[in-house]
Structure 1
Amino acid sequence: MDPYLYMAAAEGEFDPFKFANDNLGSVVTHNKNTVLHVNIASNREGESISTKFVEQVLDICPSLLLQVNAKGDAPLHVAARYGHAAVVEALIEIGEKQPGQELESGVKSTTRYMLGMKNDEENTALHEAVQSGSLDVVEILFKADPDFPDSANGSGETPLYLAAARGHKKISAEILQKCPLAAHEGPNGKTALHAAVCSGSRGVIELLLHRKKSLTRERDQHGWTPLHYAAFLDRFGISSHLLEVDRSAALIADKDRKMTALHLAAGQGNVGMVEEIIACCPECCELVDDRGWNVLHFAMVSFSIRELKYLLNKYLVFRNLIFEKDEKGNTPFHVLAAVCPHPDNAGYDIVPRKIAKGYYQAVNKQNISVEHINRYGFPELEKEIEELSKADGSGQYPDGVVKMNKKEVHLLWKYLDENIFGVEKASEYHLVVAALIATVTFAAAFTLPGGYKSDTEDGPNRGTAILSKNTAFQAFVISDAIAMVLSLSAVFVHFILSLKYFKKFIFLFVFALYFTVFAMEAMMVAFVTGTYAMLATPSLGLAIATCIIGLTFFLWAFFMISMVFSRTVEEEMEDED
């Protein structure tokens, strides 16, 4: 197409085309776009435009009405895609005036033929209008032909499915009003309700459930119902509505893994969703997947200890699953032990002690108990869980079948043991440091800065500290006492950790670490205030200089801790990548 003619078509200038007549059909771009395609596409989407150019061009060359470009788009496709309602209406009116199209099935009006035309993607003008979200165009198309074809396009998407997938409630309502039996199918066996759930459009969901209630039980090629998607995507409000309409949908298992919506919700760590499904359909807790895993097996992987304790205390049906075994004989607590191995019975945290004693000795078909896994691990089960948690961003489970919840409290001992050259070794060094601080602060309490009042002095002040009225000295005494108490507390913790019984109290090591660090800080404060109390009177400048030098300890400590945290964050991001 000549550049001059292209610009004239884009701007709607008809004069250059007045005498072209039927030759306009040969004036096309590289992609076989006619002057009508160029003009319609050059106007901004939704913009109110004049139809004068379109009418003038079709008046001298009516064949352009049905002429398609390289992608199979007729002018009506382009007008519908860009939401140009006025152009769509003009094209339909012109089509009504044209003679019918002779087909093998007989003569068909030009308008109906044009409305049924499909491009290379097998989209009709209605598909294009729905995808663009143009309600006005959809209304015009249905007005032109109430029996507008609603077949699927090349991707298997019907107009109703497209409207639901994009959350277009008004367009969905228009389609269902004009065509109550409109096809609802989508790709891979999905329905419009599947699409609406994935898009999170509650308005469309309510509309579909009112008109097509049976869609709650429809399954896609993987066997997923709309409830499966709601559970997997954590659409809490939507799942509630689906269950209100048809609670039996909670009993439907998928084809791949025999997982119900409850299994998916538990696997993704969605506590609220699990509660909602159990409240509506408690019997679904009895169902297991293809490996024999029940909802509690999944929960042990994905939920935190606090969440597990909450669910086990609140729901009897949940508690009844504690001793249920999968096909390999593993109970839910075998899974918990594999996820966060802890040699000192983490199960006591989430179930009563009497029950915990029973689960702790439970064995699977390989005669491996929960206690054994806690102490020595179980590579086979650990690998199985790791495979379930793989998130590769593709397939039916882009985030993994389960999301592993890192139970930090139970993994802390293992982390410290692996990253600090062994807790027992670290404890020895920490004990030496804490004992040294306690020794220094104890000695400082009896060798006070400034000394004592002479024994020859009369009265009750004999033998007391000379600087006892000095504010800096008072701060020295207090900070020295704090350092003494914290360091002795750390020594005591390290001492009891040497006893076998206390080794299971992991958090004590962390407390000892904090006690030691704060004791160091208090000791530095005692040093600064003590030297200031002695030097302030004879040499204030020296006293201030000494304080500044001493306080740089906090700057160095802060700098090192910041570097450690920064490096830790970088490593975690690298691991995630």
Structure 2
Amino acid sequence: MGMERALLSAATRGKVDELRQLVARSDAEVLGSVRTPKFDTAVHIAALHGHSRFVREALSLNRELLVSRNSDGDTPLHLAARAGKERVARLLAGLAQGWTFDASSRDDGFQHPLEMENNAGDTPLHVEVRHRREPVALTLIEASPYSAFQLNDSMESPLHLAAREGHSYVVRKILGIATVEQRPSISDRGTPLHEAARGGHSFILMLLVQKRPELTELVDASGSTALHYAAERNEKRMVKILLRRSIFVALKRNNDLQSPLHVASSCGSTEAIMEILKQSAGIAERVQSEEVVNRADMDGNTPLHLAVKLGRPQMCLQLLRDQRINPCIVNKDGQTAGSILDSEEQMPSYLIYVWKELKKQEYSKCKGGKPKQLSKFLSQYVELRMGTYTLVSTLIATVTFSSLFTMPGGYDQQDGTAVLGHHAAFKVFVVANTLAMLSSIIVVFSFIWARSSIQGGDLRTSQVAWSHWLTIISCVAMVVSVTTAVYLTVVAKSPLLAYLVIAMGCSTPVVVLVMLGKNVFATPA
């Protein structure tokens, strides 16, 4: 009992001299017979703690300990890999390479030390990759290429794990092996391509598609392809890579009868939707091209139904811009995409754009379509917009009108003319200020008349659209007016400051365009 405790203590502390003394008093067999309750040998313990000199010495005395297993089926190399002891792992891998092994003996159940599996079916390479030990993993692949394709109990090879964890060098190394697996291994989580898509590793996905194109159309336990997961993550680049390899993968449906476009629509993946629509437009057969965008899932919902239910206006409008979209399809609840919005008790204002576009397309594409009527939601929305534009225009008119009494540079006390009237910038100020004030006045009076008018809602809707553009004009003109006014005031004393003000004024519309994009020009009704 004392010898066992002394040996395990020496292994824990990495004391090579104590090891030699203990072996000298008995023999090398003691190294294999002394075990912990977990059935670890002294080499297991030394490997776990990273004592490479102790491991080398022990294995020189008893070589069989290299393939000894503990109660979890782990060899010393498994433990060194899991603990991140790179130096010990390299030592054990090097010693394992020198192990005499006949490849034909695999059929008889014998395994090379580098290919030995623990109780979970993991080889040392599985452990290295799972715990992100990339340098040692590359060494193990070089030493035993066969281990790169071994499957554990979860039907996962090291290639699955490397694709999941984003180890591009390991993936490239495995894909470069001349002898590859006869058929792709598919776990419940899918192929390595699924793992790369699920993890968002676009470079690894590209490598796999180039070397293993057959993986593109394979599915996992849920019936999903890698494209489903790329669409879910809104990974535009991955969607593009997969569809360029096989455009027809866009037609694949999972166990819920959802195509990748369904998944993208239900997850709000706008970029993925744009790419799927763009790539699928190239399908030669018109019927299949339309099927990509109009296919229904098990609830009868098309991608358009799901996008409307999610309430993402940009995504809905992106779908509606595609000429292949059919807004007339009815789901199992008897609803079109438009009727889903109609059934809402209270429609958010940002969905009014979508509602109007849906009604327009239903009228032009659906049999028996009726001209769109102004719903109570749109009426409420128009009232809200009228109030907003009236308030903004009133403020702009007030500010620009007051600036006429405080002209830059002031007035000449004798004849009452503007002191800076001869300056070109002053003329720009006058024109811009007047344009801003008059545009705002037009908006204010048009809405005063509209609120008291007995005309229909369509006229009010048209006025909101006109007022949108007039408000944009007045805002831009006001920016020009303010900028030129400040310029005229400071240019004589500080030209640099004056030019800085001009630059700031010019950048204001640019910033708005960058923030809002095309939505700046979209009329709100």
Q: What amino acid is the match of 2:181?
A: S
Moved more, 184-193 or 287-296: 184-193
1:160 aligns with 2:98: no
CA distance in 1, matches of 2:35, 2:11: 10
Query: Which residue is 2:74 aligned to?
Result: 123
CA distance in 1, matches of 2:315, 2:278: 22
1:170 aligns with 2:122: no
Pick the aligned partner of 1:229 from 190, 195, 213: 195
Cα drift, residue 176 of structure 1: 1.6
1:36 aligns with 2:8: no
Does the 8 Å contact 2:228/2:259 carry over to 1?
yes
Q: What 5-or-longer segments of structure 1 have no aligned partner?
A: 1-21, 41-50, 96-110, 380-405, 412-416, 455-463, 537-550, 555-577
Q: Percent identity?
A: 17
Pick the aligned partner of 2:277 from 286, 304, 312: 312
Cα 1:341–1:231 shift into 2, 3 Å: closer
Cα drift, residue 159 of structure 1: 1.7
Query: Which residue is 1:449 aligned to?
Result: 410
- Spell out, residue by residue over 1:345-397, the C-alpha distance to the aligned partner (whole angstroms, 9 max, x if none): 72576324xx45xx233332322122233455599xxxxxxxxxxxxxxxxxx
SS at match of 1:204: helix
Query: Which residue is 1:200 aligned to?
Result: 166
Pick the aligned partner of 2:261 from 283, 292, 296: 296
Query: Which residue is 2:435 aligned to?
Result: 485
Q: What amino acid is the match of 2:35?
A: V
4+ aligned runs moved over 6 Å, structure 1: 474-477, 493-498, 503-506, 527-530
CA distance in 1, matches of 2:24, 2:315: 88
Does the 8 Å contact 1:169/1:203 carry over to 2?
no
Cα 1:502–1:77 shift into 2, 3 Å: farther
Q: What amino acid is the match of 2:90?
A: L
Does the 8 Å contact 1:312/1:350 carry over to 2?
no
Within 5 Å, give how 1:495-534 maps onto structure 2.
Answer: 500-501=460-461, 512=471, 516=475, 519=478
Cα drift, residue 124 of structure 1: 1.0
CA distance in 2, matches of 1:236, 1:334: 29
Does the 8 Å contact 2:138/2:173 carry over to 1?
no
Cα 1:122–1:76 shift into 2, 3 Å: same
Query: Which residue is 2:25 aligned to?
Result: 60
Query: So what's the TM-score if we normalise by structure 2?
Result: 0.66
Does the 8 Å contact 1:251/1:284 carry over to 2?
yes
Query: Which residue is 2:4 aligned to?
Result: 25
SS at match of 1:217: coil
CA distance in 2, matches of 1:140, 1:315: 54
Pick the aligned partner of 1:322 from 293, 299, 310: 293
Cα drift, residue 79 of structure 1: 3.1
Within 5 Å, give how 1:4-403 maps onto structure 2.
Answer: 23-27=2-6, 33-39=8-14, 51-60=16-25, 62=27, 65-66=31-32, 67-69=34-36, 71-95=38-62, 111-112=63-64, 114-131=65-82, 132-133=85-86, 134-144=89-99, 146=101, 148-149=112-113, 150-165=115-130, 166=132, 167=134, 168-176=136-144, 180=146, 184-186=150-152, 188-209=154-175, 210=177, 213-214=180-181, 217-220=184-187, 222-255=188-221, 257-302=222-267, 308-316=273-281, 317=283, 319-320=289-290, 321-340=292-311, 342=313, 346-347=317-318, 350-352=321-323, 355=324, 359-374=326-341, 376-377=343-344
SS at match of 2:122: coil
Between the two proteins, the alignment pairs up a number of residues equal to 431
CA distance in 1, matches of 2:148, 2:421: 92
CA distance in 1, matches of 2:45, 2:51: 9
CA distance in 2, matches of 1:326, 1:85: 58
Q: What 5-or-longer segments of structure 2 have no aligned partner?
A: 102-110, 356-378, 451-458, 493-500, 505-525
Within 5 Å, give how 1:537-556 maps onto structure 2.
Answer: none
CA distance in 1, matches of 2:463, 2:20: 88
Query: So what's the TM-score if we normalise by structure 1?
Result: 0.61
Cα 1:135–1:121 shift into 2, 3 Å: same
